[in-house]
Structure 1
Amino acid sequence: MTAPTTFAWEIEARDLRLLVGRRRTAVDGVTLTMGRGVHGLLGPNGAGKTTLIRALATVLRPTSGTLSLLGGMELRSLRRRIGYLPQEFGHYRRFTVREFVEYMAWLKEMPARDVPAAVQRAVERVGLADRADDRLKTLSGGMIRRVGIAQAIVNDPEILLLDEPTAGLDPAQRLRFRELLTELGTDACVVVSTHLVEDVAAACTDVVLLAEGRLVFQGTPAQLAAAGTDEHAGDSPIERGYSALLATPRQRGSW
């Protein structure tokens, strides 16, 4: 694996504003930075998480403000260095697992000589080596999600964006996925959007909390846990911290 280029920050947003459609503001003046490591993106439904992920994936362009990825390189080169798993990803049911991940590697313009080994490695990392030659239509929902993770990591991306990646995974698979996240975060900037606070506590080095399109909090899982008390809702310190921050009245610099 080639070592990623060093940047001040892999992701840097300043006063970022994103509209959905022509009127609704989904992300409202967000300023944040993200470097290598695993960043958990939390927030209730409608908080703007998926819209932000889509902008980071270069699917959406900023309405206003600035967004710099990997130092602001040219778009085509940038997309070769990004891995992206949306909440719902299209796939060809008649493709085998290997064929689909190979196809995605081709779309990412990976050198042809590198593709077979990269595909095999990606499939092994998500625990599907024994199903690599099975057609996608024969797989369970959880397996399809793992195929989605495989295609996102096949190019060893420098920015990896995962939107609800554990949907459909059973508890044992989620544990293995957390281990994979920790491994990936060593060399890449990994952003994981999730509703599962316990996944953030277990695997993330940094937490970003959005509410109503605004940045409520960015810090470590320990700092998030410290924001709550026993009076707040939640079964764990980090869940209580999450509840406490979402319950905070609107304040300058908050939400």
Structure 2
Amino acid sequence: MVRMVSATELKPTTYAWPVETTELRVKAGRHLAVNGLDLQLGTGVHGLLGPNGAGKTTLMRALSTVHRPSGGQLRLLGEDATSSRVLRPLRRRLGYLPQHFGFYPRFTVREYVEYMAWLREMPKAAIPGAVQRAVERVGLTARADSRLKALSGGMLRRVGIAQAIVNDPDLLLLDEPTVGLDPEQRVEFRTLLRELGTDSCVVVSTHLVEDVVAACTDVVLVDEGKLVWQGLPAALIQIGEQGGTGDSPAERGYTSLLSSHRSAS
């Protein structure tokens, strides 16, 4: 059955920011992992940085509508993402790769990406072509009919990226997407990110500062669930050239900003 496209999906874009949060609070269990976050993200690739326990994964789960905020405002693609009324049509426009994603080992690569396209309620006739494009973009064309249980960790990560982009999402969320990728694959992935960010809002959570500097148009640094700093990769490098701990100017900028934030808290 072909899904009919609603008038809501066809209406022109009128929102200023694909992602906008105001005093956002999100709990991870009983812990307030995101605590009063104000953030605005536009079209482009945004690198989300922060130490372990900073609230990055919880924030990504909130942006993907998996976690419901416990307070504040969250608007995604112009919609109030705290309203259950808009969640179903909103999720059709999202792409999400969790830090740990589940899969059926006996599925082939193609079957798994097709299944995820079906879950996002893509029109049936559009799915085969969309799946083929997604698989090609992550460099798995030759393994499209291999079972997932036969793939390496890096290949599985690329399958996860393929399912996240199969519906050409307006908002793409990738949590630690380069885990398990070799250096050559990481370079290819950075190219793909830059391509995706030309007309979509892409948020990439990672510990790899160099990936952010190489591929992102914007850097978002969080700690203890709060915004520490937001700016251009070039600005992060410039801060690092003045001091800090790390093997590169970007890493020194990262550590310097965290240190300054903690000293002021």
TM-score by length of 1: 0.95
Q: Are 1:174 and 2:182 an aligned pair?
A: no
Change (3 A) 1:177 1:3: farther
- Provide the residue aligned with 1:32 in structure 2: 39
Q: CA deviation at 1:228?
A: 2.7
Change (3 A) 1:167 1:77: same
Distance, in Å, in 2 between the alignment partners of 1:120 and 1:83 is 17
Distance, in Å, in 1 between the alignment partners of 2:254 and 2:165 is 29
Q: Residues 38-187 of structure 1: matches in 2 within 5 Å?
A: 38-72=45-79, 74-187=86-199
Which has the larger displacement, 67-76 or 126-135? 67-76
Distance, in Å, in 1 between the alignment partners of 2:14 and 2:249 is 35
Q: CA deviation at 1:5?
A: 3.3
Distance, in Å, in 2 between the alignment partners of 1:214 and 1:77 is 29
Distance, in Å, in 2 between the alignment partners of 1:134 and 1:7 is 41
> What amino acid sits opposite 1:151 in the alignment?
Q
Q: CA deviation at 1:225?
A: 1.8
> What amino acid sits opposite 2:217 in the alignment?
T
Distance, in Å, in 1 between the alignment partners of 2:195 and 2:251 is 25
- Provide the residue aligned with 2:5 in structure 1: none
SS at match of 2:162: helix
- Provide the residue aligned with 1:220 in structure 2: 232
Q: Are 1:16 and 2:24 an aligned pair?
A: yes
* Contact kept? 1:105, 1:115, Cα under 8 Å: yes
* Contact kept? 1:36, 1:188, Cα under 8 Å: yes
SS at match of 1:176: helix
Distance, in Å, in 2 between the alignment partners of 1:250 and 1:198 is 23
Q: CA deviation at 1:184?
A: 0.2
The alignment-based identity, stated in percent, is 69
Distance, in Å, in 1 between the alignment partners of 2:240 and 2:194 is 26
Q: CA deviation at 1:232?
A: 1.1
Distance, in Å, in 2 between the alignment partners of 1:34 and 1:141 is 31
> What amino acid sits opposite 2:107 in the alignment?
F
Distance, in Å, in 2 between the alignment partners of 1:97 and 1:7 is 35
1:9-42 deviation digits (Å, cap 9, x = unpaired): 00000010111113x1101111010011000000
> What amino acid sits opposite 1:25 in the alignment?
L
Distance, in Å, in 1 between the alignment partners of 2:155 and 2:19 is 30
SS at match of 1:101: helix
Q: Are 1:198 and 2:210 an aligned pair?
A: yes
Change (3 A) 1:56 1:121: same
Q: CA deviation at 1:7?
A: 2.5
> What amino acid sits opposite 1:202 in the alignment?
A
* Contact kept? 1:3, 1:187, Cα under 8 Å: no
Q: Are 1:235 and 2:243 an aligned pair?
A: no
Distance, in Å, in 2 between the alignment partners of 1:197 and 1:3 is 38
> What amino acid sits opposite 2:229 in the alignment?
F
TM-score by length of 2: 0.91
Structure 2 gaps, min length 5: 1-9, 81-85
1:47-73 deviation digits (Å, cap 9, x = unpaired): 000000000000011111100001016
* Contact kept? 1:4, 1:187, Cα under 8 Å: no
SS at match of 2:250: helix
Distance, in Å, in 1 between the alignment partners of 2:261 and 2:18 is 32
SS at match of 2:235: helix
> What amino acid sits opposite 1:58 in the alignment?
T
* Contact kept? 2:243, 2:253, Cα under 8 Å: no
Change (3 A) 1:211 1:5: same
- How many residue pairs were aligned? 251
